[in-house]
């Protein structure tokens, strides 16, 4: 199935205790598409400025990403983010955000992009996400990411956008904030009651949990001794997860959703091994398959009944 991803294309300047880099190619749509393009033809929709170079577009195309819908405003500058992480790599600290061309971004989808069968709405203003969702009326599966900023400043728009989608990806704190429910299972069930069939709780170094109306699945993160830069890991996860669903013709049986979680988890683990999108840019299908197999090995156990002692009477 064809996939369209709408989100940011950015230059990230990142500093972690383990590495740092300037103006690295990033953005939610880029991390997503470098992952999803392993599974489905992915078109990215997002704005860039005159400082965005042709070799970046070429790299994306070399990875099977369609760049026709990248909106180039030669007079403007590409969205840029500068941030750092402390030893606790779970929390990104923003030092500077320059919206550039992203400030006035209105997604303009071609007829081809609108006809996509699967749609990913990366973390942008909820009413823009809603516009896009309405344009892609024939999509069989629409997924949405968001963040605390929109929960706080555009809560109603976000809720009415959530009603339109099949899948919501948020981190634990965001799910709790959105629903005012401290219990994660209760929070996820409340989001499902709004319309989506699938809710994914992103849990950083602890992996991810998947909720549907009648079922549950959780997968730990792949253990790494060398985590360099978590930027974009959630989008890479989304790319693997949603890409897999697109490859399976949007068949969201529970077994497929579980496998999709494994592919998302595997690709996210590669994403964090190097700065920015460096690792994803040279990732191979064989490496993904190997890591999914390894992930299976380290999370699966074989049940074997044990004889439990009967209780003596008091």
The least CB distance from residue 33 to its own copies, in Å, is 12
CA nearest to 12, candidates 1, 28, 23: 23
The least CB distance from residue 242 to its own copies, in Å, is 13
Which residues, 6 or more positions from 207, have their beta carbon under 8 angstroms from its beta carbon? Answer: 218, 219, 220, 221, 265
Nearer to its own copies, 126 or 264 (CB): 264
CA 268/CA 262 separation, integer angstroms: 10
The least CB distance from residue 9 to its own copies, in Å, is 18
The least CB distance from residue 288 to its own copies, in Å, is 7
Tokens for 237, please give them: 């996860």
Burial of 140 (0-12, 13-18, 19+ CB in 10 A): middle
CA 262/CA 253 separation, integer angstroms: 15
The least CB distance from residue 226 to its own copies, in Å, is 8
Nearer to its own copies, 22 or 255 (CB): 255
Backbone angle region of 70, left / alpha / beta, with phi > 0 → left and psi within -120 to 50 → alpha: beta
Nearer to its own copies, 111 or 303 (CB): 303
CA angle 88, 169, 79 (to 5 degrees): 70
Nearer to its own copies, 233 or 288 (CB): 288
Nearer to its own copies, 106 or 253 (CB): 253
Look-up: residue for tokens 């997002």? 46
The least CB distance from residue 277 to its own copies, in Å, is 15
Q: How far is CA 75 from CA 48, 50, 78, in A?
A: 10, 6, 10
The least CB distance from residue 301 to its own copies, in Å, is 4
Q: Are 29 and 6 in contact (CB under 8 A)?
A: yes
The Cβ-side half-sphere exposure at 111, using a 13 Å CA radius, reads: 0
Interacting residues with its own copies (CB under 8 A): 17, 37-41, 58-59, 61-64, 87-89, 182-186, 189, 203, 205-207, 209, 215-220, 223-227, 244, 247-248, 255, 258-259, 261-263, 285, 288-289, 292-293, 296, 298-314
The least CB distance from residue 297 to its own copies, in Å, is 9
Nearer to its own copies, 100 or 264 (CB): 264
Q: How far from each other are the two terminal CA atoms of the chain, in whole angstroms?
A: 64
């Amino acid at each position: 199935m064809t996939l369209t991803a709408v989100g940011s294309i950015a230059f990230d300047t990142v500093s972690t205790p383990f590495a740092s880099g300037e103006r690295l190619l990033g953005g939610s749509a880029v991390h997503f598409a470098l992952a999803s393009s392993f599974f489905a033809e992915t078109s990215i929709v997002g704005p860039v400025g005159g400082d965005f170079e042709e070799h970046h577009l070429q790299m994306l195309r070399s990875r099977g990403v369609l760049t026709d819908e990248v909106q180039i405003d030669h007079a403007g500058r590409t969205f840029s983010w500068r941030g750092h992480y402390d030893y606790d790599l779970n929390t990104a600290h923003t030092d500077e955000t320059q919206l550039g061309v992203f400030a006035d971004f209105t997604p303009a989808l071609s007829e081809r992009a609108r006809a996509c069968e699967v749609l990913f709405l990366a973390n942008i203003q909820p009413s823009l996400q809603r516009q896009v969702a309405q344009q892609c009326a024939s999509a069989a599966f629409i997924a949405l990411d968001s963040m605390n900023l929109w929960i706080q400043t555009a809560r109603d728009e976000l809720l009415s956008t959530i009603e339109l989608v099949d899948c919501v990806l948020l981190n634990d704190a965001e799910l709790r904030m959105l629903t005012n429910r401290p219990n994660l299972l209760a929070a996820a069930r409340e989001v499902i009651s709004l319309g989506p069939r699938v809710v994914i709780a992103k849990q950083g170094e602890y992996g991810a949990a998947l909720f549907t109306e009648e079922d549950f699945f959780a997968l730990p993160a792949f253990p790494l001794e060398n985590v360099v830069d978590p930027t974009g890991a959630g989008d890479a996860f989304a790319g693997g997860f949603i890409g897999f669903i697109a490859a399976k013709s949007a068949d969201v049986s529970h077994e497929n959703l579980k496998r999709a979680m494994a592919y998302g988890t595997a690709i996210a683990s590669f994403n964090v091994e190097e700065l920015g999108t460096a690792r994803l840019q040279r990732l191979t299908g064989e490496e993904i398959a190997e890591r999914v197999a390894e992930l299976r090995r380290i999370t699966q156990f074989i049940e074997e009944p044990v004889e439990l002692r009967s209780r003596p009477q008091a």
